[in-house]
Amino acid sequence: MDIDNSSTNDDADHSAAICGENYSTFLNTLHLCLKPKTYFEIGTLSGGTLRLANGASIAVDPQFQIDADIMGVKPSCMLFQQSSDEFFATHNASQLFGAPIDLAFLDGMHLFEFLLRDFMNTEKHCRKNSIILLHDCLPPGFFMTVRDRSDPTWAKSRFARWWTGDVWKVIPVLRSYRPDLSITMFDCPPTGLVSITNLDPASQALDSAYVEIVDRFSSKDIDREAYDNYWTTLSIEKSREFSTAQHFATKFWI
């Protein structure tokens, strides 16, 4: 991570809490231990995370920039070059797989309402014990949470280059509107990994509250007090302690 520690920087710094396995190393371990038969990814870019999957895969990205072997031993891999909203409006992930999604990784547009919709739409194609992973919801700095990368605040970030947008707000939303979900945070740099299970594909709780939620949470300005409060509520697992299927079984029904 490129960190600017200049004394004038008034950015937050939670990097000490996000110092476990890199997210892609952890994701690789998860694939090897849990062996998901179906993998669904939103936000693929060059394929750094898609290539880790060994099961049948679906990936969605409006602008793939794949530059390496993403197939590996996958039996099948479907790429949809469109936004996730367009994908869900026109395709049915569980029908394409012929089975529910086992593991999903949501890493598309970094705005809270987009990730919330990605979660809502993905859950409908899961079963209770599927796992949905959210990227970027443990931002170690505050300035990386700007909604617009042209915001001059971003240039002040001590974590040069990393942009999480305000997707972290999805966690308080889920805690508030979906207390039935089981949410676990992992200390994976650079910006954390959050897993969600105990899913309910039939739940309408988020759908029926969506307009209210967006109204409540999607303010254009970033809110330091809300960000600081969020960090006080986090209990973060040490990713390096998860290296076998037995370790993962303490968090997931596998």
Binding residues for ligand SAM, rule CB under 6 A, total 16
To ligand SAM, the closest distance from the beta carbon of 63 in angstroms equals 5
66 near ligand SAM (CB under 6 A): no
42 near ligand SAM (CB under 6 A): yes
To ligand SAM, the closest distance from the beta carbon of 246 in angstroms equals 27
For 98, phi then psi, to 5°, come to 75, 20
Q: Which is nearer to ligand SAM, 65 or 235 (CB)?
A: 65
Torsion, Cα of 132, 136, 139, 144 (10° steps): -160
Judged by CB under 6 A, which of 63, 95, 233, 235 binds ligand SAM?
A: 63
Q: Name the segment binding ligand SAM (CB under 6 A); options: 12-20, 60-68, 120-128, 189-197.
A: 60-68
Question: Which residue stretches of 65-204 are H helix?
Answer: 84-90, 93-97, 112-123, 152-155, 170-177
122 near ligand SAM (CB under 6 A): no
Distances (CA, A) of 254 to 10, 42, 186: 43, 23, 18
60 near ligand SAM (CB under 6 A): yes
Shortest CA distance to 196 belongs to which of 181, 177, 186?
A: 181
- What are 134's strand-pairing partners? 106, 194
Torsion, Cα of 171, 216, 224, 170 (10° steps): 20
62 near ligand SAM (CB under 6 A): yes
For 80, phi then psi, to 5°, come to -120, 110
Q: Helix, strand, or coil here: 79?
A: strand
To ligand SAM, the closest distance from the beta carbon of 112 in angstroms equals 13
Judged by CB under 6 A, which of 45, 120, 214, 254 binds ligand SAM?
A: 45
Q: Which two tokens stand for residue 111?
A: 């705005």
108 near ligand SAM (CB under 6 A): yes
To ligand SAM, the closest distance from the beta carbon of 39 in angstroms equals 12
Judged by CB under 6 A, which of 21, 102, 107, 187 binds ligand SAM?
A: 107
Residues within the interface to ligand SAM (CB under 6 A):
42-45, 48-49, 60-63, 83-84, 107-109, 114
